[in-house]
Chain A
Amino acid sequence: MYQEIILDHYKNPHGRGLREPFDAESFQVNPTCGDEVTLRVKLDGEKVTDVSYQAQGCSISQAATSVLTDLVVGDTVEHALSTMDSFVDLMQGRGKVEPDEDVLEDGIAFAGVAKYPARVKCALLGWMAFKDAIGRVEAA
């Protein structure tokens, strides 16, 4: 489960910190363990120009949020959300979904996490915040 890629992202997270300017912010919490993330998105039209975050949690939730920033910053909103769908499919696949490295890049390292149902929510925490923040921008 603890792939080297996950531990690398955990120890050296990408994109961490809360930055200005941003269009929307989302706060998400995992009520079973108390892990928290505050995540901001900055969009330029259809494009995600920045994702910044402050989080407190386990290696899985921290690393997954770090990988998220690699995957979505610079991407279109539509494609980023489709990448999220792939990641969610992988995480909810009970270890039976073959990840596509072209789509998920470092995210494929989380395939092992999918075998531990109790940890799936950890991997999805940052992604839930991202989706919620995008929804807030679109609703504004």
Chain B
Amino acid sequence: MTTVSPVLPLDVAALRADFPILARTVRDRKPLVYLDSGATSQRPRQVLDAERTFLETSNAAVHRGAHQLAEEATDAYEGARAKIAAFVGVTPGEVVFTKNATESVNLVAYAMGNAATAGPEAHRFTLGPGDEIVVTEMEHHANLVPWQELAKRTGATLRWFGVTDEGRLDLSDVDSVITPRTKLVAFAHQSNVLGTVNPVKTLVEAAHKVGALTVLDACQSVPHSPVDFAGLGIDFAVFSSHKMLGPQGIGVLYGRRELLEALPPFLTGGSMIELVTMERTTFAAPPQRFEAGSMMISEAVGLGAAVDYLTAIGMDKVAAHEHALTEAALAGLSEVDGVRIVGPTSTVDRGGAISFVVDGIHPHDVSQVLDDQGIAVRVGHHCAWPLHRRLGVPATVRASVYVYNDLSDVDALVAGVRATQKFFGTAQ
């Protein structure tokens, strides 16, 4: 048990009042201890209300129709885009809405695959035999499989940075991995399993030195800390709404304006065109070029409200809060015999995803006994199977914290793990 309780930067009790779901009980009236925000976060009333208010007052299709509701809906949708752009330090014309972050990565991968048959401006995106795509061994499948597939379609070669035993990227020889053959470098800002925060600037510099594009998976960073894509110098970045207090069903792709203007479309059809004849079509300017068909409008409004909510708290405070919780969780879990943290054991360059294994008890069984105590954690390979293989574990238990967690949640987790060991007879 931790002996000194730090004072947390956020007033958790006040925040929790905004999240109705956190007041419910589970499994025979146990209070819910929600430690699975890395998978999906809960939504405050402000987000739910924003969606409902939009639907009750201004719902209409956007960017078509000239009636008042259509105008209001378009303003709400574009207003959300502007808020989200400002939140990550970029301009609205650089923000594309997608179904989710996975689709955002696929958008870039498929658009690059289409470059060979697009105009000369798209030439910079073409890949072929001899070209290389670089990823890392700690990627979520969403930032790995689309690149494997792109390599397969184009004849390019996939290469990757390995991971050290401590759960950091092995950057001991960057220049042997990122070479003049490299055309693209895709990597996570923060690992969804290890919590490791990767050195974005180091990788961006190495990539740009050889003229390669960079794609940042920011799903686990944007919700939890101040992130400035323009400042990081990244070319493309993706993140998802539902991990940052917003609705499911909407993700974001950021692309530097100049790149989006040259990038051919992925999905084609309505709304993304400039001129259509029976023979051929020219495409709208970004971001519309990448938003084919009817889009998710109330979800965009909800994500805008989530950004407002996080901005009102202050992302510096969010990060400091999670830092304190992570420190307490790492300290608490490391005091339990038989528990091994999978990932950095210090809080340096580390976020609030805390994965671990318990000797002699399969992670699935750990999570089941925790669930019986009302504690919701994630279990499995967390869509990062190669990383688990590298670290020699079939699966891990992952606790992940957010603004509405406090030290009592961490204490419940540690006590729950001890109870699990007692239940399976691996500790007294």
Contacts and interface: CB of A to CB of B under 8 A. Distances in A.
Interface of A: 1-2, 7, 32-36, 56-60, 62, 116, 119, 122
Contacts of B365: 2, 58-60
A62 B362 CA distance: 10
Given A1-B368, A34-B381, A34-B395, A58 B388 contact: no
A122 B424 CA distance: 18
Name the interface size band of chain B. 10 to 19
Contacts of A119: 364, 368
21 contacts: A1-B368, A2-B365, A2-B369, A33-B364, A33-B380, A33-B395, A34-B380, A34-B385, A35-B364, A35-B394, A35-B395, A58-B362, A58-B363, A58-B365, A58-B368, A59-B364, A59-B424, A60-B365, A62-B362, A116-B368, A119-B368
A57 B381 CA distance: 12
Interface of B: 362-365, 368-369, 379-381, 385, 388, 394-395, 423-424
The 7 closest A-B pairs by CB, nearest first: A58-B364, A58-B362, A33-B380, A34-B381, A59-B365, A34-B394, A58-B365
A77 B284 CA distance: 63
Nearest to B369: A2
Contact of A59 (B362, B379, B380): B362
A104 B211 CA distance: 64
Contacts of B368: 1-2, 58, 116, 119
B87 to A, nearest CB: 32
B114 to A, nearest CB: 29
Nearest to B381: A34
A84 to B, nearest CB: 22
A1 B368 CA distance: 9
A57 B361 CA distance: 10
Contacts of A34: 380-381, 385, 388, 394-395
Nearest to A32: B380
B351 to A, nearest CB: 23
A127 B113 CA distance: 42
Contacts of B380: 32-34
Given A32-B380, A33-B381, A34-B385, A60 B394 contact: no
Given A58-B364, A59-B365, A33 B388 contact: no
A124 B146 CA distance: 31
A112 to B, nearest CB: 11
A100 to B, nearest CB: 26
A62 B394 CA distance: 14
B394 A56 contact: yes
Given A2-B365, A56-B394, A119-B368, 18 more contacts: A2-B368, A2-B423, A33-B364, A33-B381, A33-B395, A34-B381, A34-B385, A34-B388, A35-B394, A57-B362, A57-B394, A58-B364, A58-B368, A59-B364, A60-B365, A116-B368, A119-B364, A122-B364
Contacts of A1: 368
A57 B365 CA distance: 9
Nearest to B393: A34
A46 B127 CA distance: 56
Nearest to A122: B364
Contacts of A33: 363-364, 379-381, 395
Contacts of B395: 33-35
Nearest to A62: B362
Nearest to B371: A116
A7 B213 CA distance: 52
A2 B395 CA distance: 20
